[in-house]
């Protein structure tokens, strides 16, 4: 039987930002590791974007050799404690597990988290190459690339626009899913390797790509994320009380707007509608519960079957009192004295599948109203064009797609400008999540190392 980590009581956790799930005990980890079949053709490894040697590290856990397990994981991933908490294992490694066909898959994510939390990275012997690499953004892609490039001997500097490091891991993911002590520990391990960090630097404003090149950086990896929120484009969207999920989560996660001791404002109303059905929508809704909204709705234009969020996040949201409204598409936001005073939704039905294979919602012409005083829009994000526009001024012209994302070689992540690479949410390939961003970071690091070797 699959082992399950203990969790905070669902009533208690509504009032705090502490981690919902505990770690495995030593006994639970050993029992769960013993379930692994150690397949000759491990499909779980194929399902992992960074190809962690999953059966090998689980075998080491089973044999109570955690240090070896940690070394095996960190051969390909510097963020085991992070990925064990936030990756969609059910669609990746665990989704490929043979046991999952007739029973429950091995709890690979929980085992990875257990190993990450109970081991430390080995000291690396680094031979300097004399080459310098600038990494723009300190999220998953940037941290991963920095680790691999530093191990290869390069002088690596990460530039972060905000006042704390971690990118979306810090400002987008709430601490009840990813404790900040865990994130800080992973970042500090990079500092111990000699990776340099510069904060409050907006590349394209504070400094340009040309200036980075003039400062002696031989290669540049752009992984600044996609921080431009996608909105609904309906009447009333500019009213007071309408937030993008990005803004709402940043205020709370990074700037502690939920704490009275901080100067960051956050008006908490009675009822909030979170528009969207992904992990960000779940994070926003569960955060809204914790900051004091009395009623929290998630409104989604398809059915529960099509929700793209992780099953675990949906379950946690329901347990914490979040209410779900399906087959509803926002049409307008009502106002009173310049603030949100309700919403109108069109009732939808599912039609033919769209390009992604999901059935497309079709309007029925029937409308319903909902009394809300706050709206949080969690419909995804797009690339901020600051870097591209600044580069154009310096006669550096990137190829981008119609949405503004960098066009890259999918294998090397190199842009149309030699020596400049891009990955993560600014140049997405596949699903946008932490582990895929890490995969992009690893590909970029390998290609950058090869590129720098060619400069000798």
CATH superfamily, domain 12-117, is Alpha-helical ferredoxin (1.10.1060.10)
Residue 352: what pLDDT?
87
Q: Tell me the mean pLDDT in the region 438-442.
A: 92
* Choices 3.40.50.2000, 3.50.50.60, 3.90.190.20, 3.20.20.70: CATH for 132-227+383-453: 3.50.50.60
* Choices 3.30.70.360, 3.90.1150.60, 3.40.50.880, 3.50.50.60: CATH for 229-381: 3.50.50.60
Confidence of residue 265 (pLDDT cuts 50, 70, 90): confident
Confidence of residue 455 (pLDDT cuts 50, 70, 90): confident
Q: What is the mean pLDDT of the chain?
A: 94
CA-based radius of gyration for the chain: 23
- Count of other CB atoms within 10 angstroms of residue 46: 12
Q: Tell me the mean pLDDT in the region 312-335.
A: 97
Strand-by-strand arrangement of the 359-370 sheet: 328-336, 339-353, 359-370
* CA 187 vs CA 143, 243, 415, 417: distances in Å: 8, 29, 27, 29
Residue 59: what pLDDT?
97
Sign of the alpha-carbon dihedral angle for 200, 203, 205, 206: positive
**Are both 132-227+383-453 and 229-381 of the same fold?**
yes
Q: Tell me the mean pLDDT in the region 333-362.
A: 92
Q: Give the start-to-end residue ranges of the domains of the chain.
A: 12-117, 132-227+383-453, 229-381
Q: What percent of the chain has pLDDT over 70?
A: 99
Q: Tell me the mean pLDDT in the region 270-296.
A: 97
Q: What percent of the chain has pLDDT over 90?
A: 86
Q: Looking at per-residue confidence, does 96 or 431 come out higher?
A: 96
pLDDT for 402-424, tens place per residue? 989 999 998 899 999 999 999 99
Residue 177: what pLDDT?
96
pTM, two decimals, is 0.94
Residue 431: what pLDDT?
67
- Residue 264 predicted with pLDDT over 70: yes
Residue 356: what pLDDT?
78
Using CA atoms, how far apart are residues 346 and 273, in angstroms rounded to an integer?
15
Confidence of residue 332 (pLDDT cuts 50, 70, 90): very high
Residue 456: what pLDDT?
57
Length of the chain: 456
């Amino acid at each position: 039987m699959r082992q399950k980590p203990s969790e905070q009581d669902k009533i208690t956790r509504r009032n705090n930002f502490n981690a919902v799930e505990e770690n495995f005990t030593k006994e639970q980890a050993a029992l769960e590791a013993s379930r692994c079949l150690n397949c000759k053709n491990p499909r779980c490894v194929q399902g992992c974007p960074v190809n962690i040697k999953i059966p090998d590290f689980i075998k080491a856990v089973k044999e109570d050799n955690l240090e070896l397990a940690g070394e095996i994981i960190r051969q390909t991933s510097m963020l085991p404690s992070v990925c064990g908490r936030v990756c969609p294992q059910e669609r990746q490694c665990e989704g490929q597990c043979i046991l999952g066909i007739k029973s429950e898959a091995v709890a690979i994510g929980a085992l990875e988290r257990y190993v990450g939390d109970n081991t430390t990275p080995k000291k690396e012997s680094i031979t300097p190459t004399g080459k310098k690499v600038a990494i723009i953004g300190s999220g998953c892609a940037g941290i991963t690339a920095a680790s691999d490039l530093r191990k290869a001997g390069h002088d690596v500097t990460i530039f972060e626009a905000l006042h704390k490091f971690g990118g979306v891991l810090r400002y987008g993911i709430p601490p009840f899913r990813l404790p900040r002590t865990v994130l800080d520990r992973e970042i500090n391990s990079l500092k111990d390797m000699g990776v340099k960090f510069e904060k409050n630097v907006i590349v394209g404003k504070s400094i340009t790509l040309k200036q980075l090149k003039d400062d002696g950086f031989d290669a540049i990896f752009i992984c600044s994320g996609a921080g431009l929120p996608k909105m609904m484009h309906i009447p009333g969207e500019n009213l007071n009380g309408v937030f993008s999920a990005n803004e709402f989560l940043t205020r709370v996660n990074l700037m502690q707007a939920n704490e009275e001791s901080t100067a960051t404002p956050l008006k908490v109303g009675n009822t909030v509608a979170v528009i969207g059905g992904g992990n960000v929508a779940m994070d926003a809704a569960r955060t809204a519960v914790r900051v004091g909204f009395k009623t929290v709705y998630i409104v989604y234009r398809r059915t529960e079957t099509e929700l793209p969020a992780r099953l675990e996040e949906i379950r946690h949201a329901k347990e914490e009192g979040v209410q779900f409204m399906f087959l509803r598409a926002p049409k307008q936001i009502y106002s009173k004295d310049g603030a949100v005073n309700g919403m109108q939704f069109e009732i939808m039905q599912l039609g033919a599948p769209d390009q992604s294979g999901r059935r497309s919602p079709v309007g029925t012409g029937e409308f319903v109203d909902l009394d809300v005083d706050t709206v949080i829009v969690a419909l995804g994000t797009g690339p901020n064009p600051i870097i591209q526009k600044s580069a154009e001024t310096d006669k550096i012209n990137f190829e981008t797609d119609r949405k503004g994302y960098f066009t890259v070689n999918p294998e090397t992540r190199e842009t149309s400008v030699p020596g400049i690479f891009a990955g993560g949410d600014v140049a997405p390939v596949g699903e946008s999540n932490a582990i895929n961003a890490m995969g992009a970071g690893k590909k970029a690091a390998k290609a950058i190392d090869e590129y720098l070797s060619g400069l000798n």
